[in-house]
Homo-oligomer: A and B are copies of this chain.
Amino acid sequence: MDPHATETDRASTATRILDAAQAQIQRRGYNAVSYGDLADALDLTTAAVHYHFSSKADLGKALVARYRQANADARAAIQEEEETLRGQLERYVEGYVGILESGGLCLCGVLAADDETLPAPVRREVRGFFADQEDWLAEIIADADDAELAGHDAPREVAELLLATIEGAMLTTRHRGPDAYRTLLRRFIDTVAS
């Protein structure tokens, strides 16, 4: 492989670095992933990684920002394509299964555990991610037909509870496979939407 072959073939190096960083951090945590690990995985040098992301804070911030945006896009698609609250919640919850299948956790769940060691810009993005989820969930719960709601009142609290349940279920079921996660969240949704 000529290292100078028309790069940007398929995915740009910057994107591939973010992909590798995301996969590794979701499985191993922020502090266990080094520039060397990423360089090895992509057959590059650490200097090449530094060329695209000059510091680990930079890389982390870009990574969470991308994750946050991808999540926002997914939520928009759900809201457009699903008509019932139950359908929206089920697709939202199912969106995390792919991560579990590859052995990882929600990127921001992992980063929240490493919170005190994160550079400030990364920490801000992580909190923004959680706020995004809670805002959106509270909105779709508040907007749902009354007939569809079991636990009607306080959509914000239900939203927070769902988010906590998702993050926690990933953590406690990660070694038992995605079905354990699915079972838990189905039960949760049953208590919220008819």
Task: Spell out A's residues near B (CB within 8 Å).
Answer: 27-32, 103, 105, 109-110, 112-117, 127, 130, 151, 154, 157-158, 160-161, 163-169, 171-175, 180, 183-184, 187-188, 191
Q: Across the interface, which residues of B come within 8 angstroms of A32, CB to CB? A: 31, 114, 116-117
A28→B116 contact, CB < 8 A: yes
Pick from B105, B116, B151: contact of A103, CB under 8 Å: B116
Count this chain's copies in the assembly: 2
Q: Is the interface of A mostly helix, strand, loop or mixed?
A: helix
Chain B's nearest CB lies how many Å from the CB of A35?
Answer: 15
B172→A112 contact, CB < 8 A: yes
Q: Across the interface, which residues of B come within 8 angstroms of A103, CB to CB? A: 116
Q: Across the interface, which residues of B come within 8 angstroms of A175, CB to CB? A: 115, 127
CA of A191 to CA of B164 in the docked complex: distance in angstroms?
Answer: 16
A130→B161 contact, CB < 8 A: no
Q: Across the interface, which residues of B come within 8 angstroms of A112, CB to CB? A: 171-172, 174
Chain B's nearest CB lies how many Å from the CB of A32?
Answer: 4
Q: Across the interface, which residues of B come within 8 angstroms of A183, CB to CB? A: 157
A130→B172 contact, CB < 8 A: yes
Q: Across the interface, which residues of B come within 8 angstroms of A165, CB to CB? A: 161, 164-165, 168
CA of A115 to CA of B175 in the docked complex: distance in angstroms?
Answer: 9
What residue of chain B has the Cβ atom nearest to residue A190's Cβ? B151
CA of A183 to CA of B169 in the docked complex: distance in angstroms?
Answer: 19
CA of A184 to CA of B32 in the docked complex: distance in angstroms?
Answer: 31
Q: Across the interface, which residues of B come within 8 angstroms of A28, CB to CB? A: 114, 116-117
A171→B164 contact, CB < 8 A: yes
CA of A180 to CA of B161 in the docked complex: distance in angstroms?
Answer: 10
Q: Across the interface, which residues of B come within 8 angstroms of A115, CB to CB? A: 174-175
A103, A113, A151, A174 pick with most chain B CB within 10 angstroms = A113
